[in-house]
Structure 1
């Protein structure tokens, strides 16, 4: 059975009822560069214009800083679609995005990479 928040878009037997690129109106390129480790966070500003349900879900998940890759996983959307949605939210002032270098961890930090590897091993 699909979760309550997923009901209109997911069906356990059929899978996703809306094709992922329909969510982004067929767009495959975001209006800004977003890295997998870019951190996005809600600004608290009310977005201007119409937002789709996935935009609203993404915005709701961004109360604290989250990396783009984690948001894609939580939204169950391809990374390209997630980046388009997040760029839309940044463009309308609802989100801020920071490059990974603005945070204390570096993608080549050995301790960070080992922690990620340990986490992946536990899940497999």
Structure 2
């Protein structure tokens, strides 16, 4: 029997981890938002274990959803924690390109013709 799927109660309730808040200070964070730790920001001693773990996880680029899985927390809680860390400068949102550049039609036709030859 695999015990990983069993219910496990947490000794610390979610509202304690988020400081009693259910809503983030930023409404722009979504599960697919990419986060990266600010290497210049020093972590204060008073920072919670969850926030420290989130910053450590984001030493490489990580999405909010991936961070939630690694931390074992709901995405909504990670959004609150991440928004706090963005506000304090410990995390940075890695933006995606705003405008996609479409390839030339000739290039697309060459690719299509090449695929047809396969």
Q: TM-score, normalised by structure 2?
A: 0.68
> How far does the alpha carbon of each residue in 1:50-82 deviate from its partner, in whole angstroms, 9 at most, with x for none?
311100011110011100001011111111111
SS at match of 1:16: coil
Q: TM-score, normalised by structure 1?
A: 0.65
Question: How far apart, in 2, do the equivalents of 1:42 and 1:86 lie?
Answer: 10
| C-alpha contact 1:48 1:92 (8 A) present in aligned 2 | no
Q: How many residues align?
A: 92
SS at match of 1:15: coil
Instruction: Give every structure 1 segment of 4 or more consecutive aligned residues whose post-TM-superposition deviation is greater than 3 Å.
Output: 12-15, 47-50
Is 1:25 aligned to 2:19, yes or no? yes
Partner of 1:34: 29
Q: Which runs of 5+ in 2 are unaligned?
A: 1-5, 98-118
The one of 29, 54, 57 aligned to 2:50: 54
Question: How far apart, in 2, do the equivalents of 1:76 and 1:26 lie?
Answer: 19
Per the TM alignment, residue 94 of structure 1 is displaced from its structure 2 partner at its CA by 0.8
Q: Which runs of 5+ in 1 are unaligned?
A: 1-11, 104-124
Question: How far apart, in 2, do the equivalents of 1:22 and 1:48 lie?
Answer: 19
Question: How far apart, in 2, do the equivalents of 1:61 and 1:30 lie?
Answer: 20
SS at match of 1:31: coil
SS at match of 2:68: helix
Q: Which has the larger radius of gyration?
A: 2
Per the TM alignment, residue 27 of structure 1 is displaced from its structure 2 partner at its CA by 0.6
SS at match of 2:36: strand
Per the TM alignment, residue 47 of structure 1 is displaced from its structure 2 partner at its CA by 4.2
Is 1:43 aligned to 2:2, yes or no? no
Partner of 2:9: 15
